[in-house]
A and B are shown apart, each in its own frame.
Chain A
Amino acid sequence: MEPAHGTADPFERAPCGYVVTDGEGVIVRANAEFLRMVEVTAAEIVSVRTLASFVSVAGRILLETHLFPMLEHSRVIREIDLDLVTAGGRRVPVLFNAGLASPGGDRSVLAVFVEARDRHRYEEDLRHAKRTADHAREEAAALAETLQQTLIPPAPPHIPGLDIAAAYRPAGAGREVGGDFYDVFQVSASAWIVALGDVSGKGVSAATVTSLVRYTVRSFAIDHPDPADLLGRVDAVLSANDTRHYCTLVVARLERHGDGWELALSLAGQPAALLRSSGGEVSELGVFGTPVGLVEHPRFTTVRHRLRAGSSVTLFTDGVTEGRGADGMYGDERLHDLVRDLPADVQAVTDGIARAVLEFQNGDASDDIAIVTFAPQP
């Protein structure tokens, strides 16, 4: 007898593919929607085919190694994204839920399939976009690292009669470009420039300013032997450049006289240099100046000092003294005490400062750190 309207076999008329398997996974019942999806008749599959045989080869691996064990353990699996394969070999993307039919030992399964062509296309687009974004992010990180490498000279050059050491530690994971830089180069047969600075901000626009400052310092250094003059030129160039970034900078000019070195030094928003005497006393060197590219009437002052044997000078960016740890900022006092107690060797002083500041911040520097130390050779 035909069932009454509205109560006609809900299994058969369900608007989703509906399949029942026995404990071995062989199909014992399949409704009209499922037969339509996979383009077969009931007679062709009931008691003949397993459910797994309607899934792609790859899908079968996932079924056998993950989904069936999960089903067996949790009694239900939900929202599985698979491809059914029709009798003609066509793929039908589906979402599929399955549950064990009875609470007892029988492992027969109820499975429901919903065709998901549009959703699948949409998700494929999302996955593609995510992969592209991941790739772009990796590229950008690699580019940032490369750019940063080009802004920092790998090691200071060899200067006859002068020991020099430098250290650079990027903030955090070091994935962001910009920030601190240093440079050491020759300007005459007997003179060298040591420049160290910090461009405000981060990212690509800061990096281009870093580059601009560095090459401006290089190009004006030969004709402007006075560091304060040189800073004035750099300030003019940076002010004329349409950038929101400014730069703190310290320029030291070292000129060899006989067996000693004359130091001329000017500050632009940078902390004063640290002078460590042969006896170990630490004092500050330099007169405060305005950062370059920031104010309308910049002010730079050159101080001169004759470097004695056994003494050394350290330039550093504010990432050193403003490094934050559990006890607040690292600060000038800690730095002075540290430099006084470190071995009198440019490498030991430079590395010692970098290590102490990193340790103070538990290894996670909040800002870039750049340090250069030089000392006349005995």
Chain B
Amino acid sequence: MNLAPRLNVAMHGPAEARPIVFVHGFGCGQLMWRHVAPAFAEDHRVVLLDLPGAGDSDLSLYRPERYTGLEAYRDDLVALLEELDLTDAVFVGHSVSAMIGVLVANAAPGRVGALVLVAPSARYLDDEGYLGGFSERDIEELLGLMERNHLGWQDPLAGLVAGAAPAEVKLELEDSFCRTRPDIAAQFAAVTFRGDNRADLVDVRVPTLIVQSSDDAVAPMSAGAFIRDQIPDSIFTVIETHGHCPHLSAPVETVAALREFLDRR
């Protein structure tokens, strides 16, 4: 099976350069990296992709009974790294994909040579002696909110049946940023926010950069600091910005943090 086209993989930059793989988190797709990824295309092999079920990935690839945990995403990404034959790659994961990156690095040590965790959290729910920032009730409410907001999603087949002209369909697709099939988005939310990857952190053996937003309600400072304390020799960089997406709200600072980390080695 050819994964790359089904995960909408796009590659830029010199083929022989060190690979840097950008993986978006919960919500939206590879377009989230549009202010950051181009800065690395000169001296890296930039790899962008949409996770199964997200962005413009092949939705027929998504089977709900398979994607019940991050392990399925890990297995897909390990398979993709093998298919593209990437070694010593820099894995840049945002949000939940930071934890997917940890799992991929632990499962395929030769393939991943460095980890960049952007706004990571190893567990979103509060626990004894651990502040994740969320309660189970918040997660229930999130799933309810997502049911109330389909964010413009409509079954593309419904449009075709209604006889929409091809031009209209194309327009729909061009404006599809962040649209996800509601049932897939709900399952991904549940997998993301109910996961617990705290135990996986101590196994990380590759150089790791944690990019923490100074005011992030989704991945609070306590979540980033926990990861810093668990991953030996990790670098913890705080970017002064509001929100969960420093690669959108502070792209220049984010690029600078990545550059400094990569130049260190």
- Chain A: residues with CB nearer than 8 A to chain B? 24-26, 50, 52, 56-62, 64-66, 68-70, 72-74, 80-82, 107, 123, 127
Contact = CB atoms under 8 A, between A and B. Distances in A.
A62 B243 CA distance: 12
A127 B245 CA distance: 32
Nearest to B213: A64
Interface in B112-157: 133-135, 138-139, 141-142, 144-149, 151
Contacts, number: 86
B248 A64 contact: no
A64 B218 contact: yes
B245 A58 contact: no
B244 interface: yes
Given A66-B27, A68-B243, A61 B148 contact: no
B217 A73 contact: no
Contacts of B26: 65
Contacts of B138: 56-58, 61
Nearest to A24: B242
Contacts of A69: 27-28, 32, 177-178, 245, 248
A74 B242 contact: no
9 smallest A-B Cβ distances: which pairs?
A: A65-B27, A58-B141, A64-B244, A58-B142, A81-B148, A57-B138, A66-B27, A70-B178, A24-B242
Of the listed residues A66, A72, A123, the one surrounded by the most CB atoms of chain B closer than 10 A to its CB is A66
B217 A65 contact: no
B87 interface: no
A66 B148 contact: no
B25 A58 contact: no
Contacts of A61: 134, 138, 142, 193, 217-218
A25 B243 contact: yes
B241 interface: yes
Given A57-B138, A61-B142, A72-B248, A50 B242 contact: yes
Given A66-B28, A69-B248, A127 B134 contact: no
Nearest to A74: B177
Nearest to B185: A66
Contact of B151 (A58, A66, A107): A66
Contacts of A66: 27-28, 151, 178
A58 B139 contact: yes
A26 B242 CA distance: 9
26 contacts: A24-B241, A24-B242, A24-B249, A57-B135, A58-B139, A58-B142, A59-B145, A61-B134, A64-B218, A64-B244, A65-B25, A65-B28, A66-B28, A66-B151, A66-B178, A68-B243, A68-B248, A69-B32, A69-B245, A70-B151, A72-B248, A73-B31, A74-B175, A82-B145, A82-B149, A123-B148
B254 interface: no
A50 B249 CA distance: 14
A62 B141 CA distance: 11
Given A61-B217, A62-B146, 8 more contacts: A50-B242, A58-B144, A61-B193, A62-B145, A65-B25, A70-B177, A74-B175, A82-B145
Contact of A60 (B32, B193, B217, B249): B217
B177 A73 contact: yes
A60 B28 CA distance: 16
B178 A73 contact: yes
B95 interface: yes
Contact of A57 (B27, B141, B147): B141
Nearest to B244: A64
Contacts of B177: 69-70, 73-74
A113 B139 CA distance: 24
B240 to A, nearest CB: 9
A61 B26 CA distance: 10
A80 B31 CA distance: 21
B45 to A, nearest CB: 25
Nearest to B26: A65
Contact of B242 (A25, A57, A58, A81): A25
Nearest to B146: A62
A217 B14 CA distance: 78
Contacts of B146: 62
A58 B149 CA distance: 13
Given A50-B242, A69-B248, A73-B31, A62 B134 contact: no
A82 B95 CA distance: 22
A26 B135 CA distance: 25
A69 B31 CA distance: 10
B245 A68 contact: yes
Interface in B74-118: 95
Of the listed residues B32, B146, B151, B193, the one surrounded by the most CB atoms of chain A closer than 10 A to its CB is B151
Nearest to B216: A64
Contacts of A58: 138-139, 141-142, 144-145
Interface string B29-56: 0011000000000000000000000000
A58 B135 CA distance: 10
Nearest to B245: A69
A65 B29 CA distance: 11
Contacts of B244: 64-65
B178 A64 contact: no
Contacts of B139: 58
A62 B27 CA distance: 9
A275 B248 CA distance: 76
Contacts of B193: 61
B33 to A, nearest CB: 11
Nearest to B189: A61
A65 B97 CA distance: 13
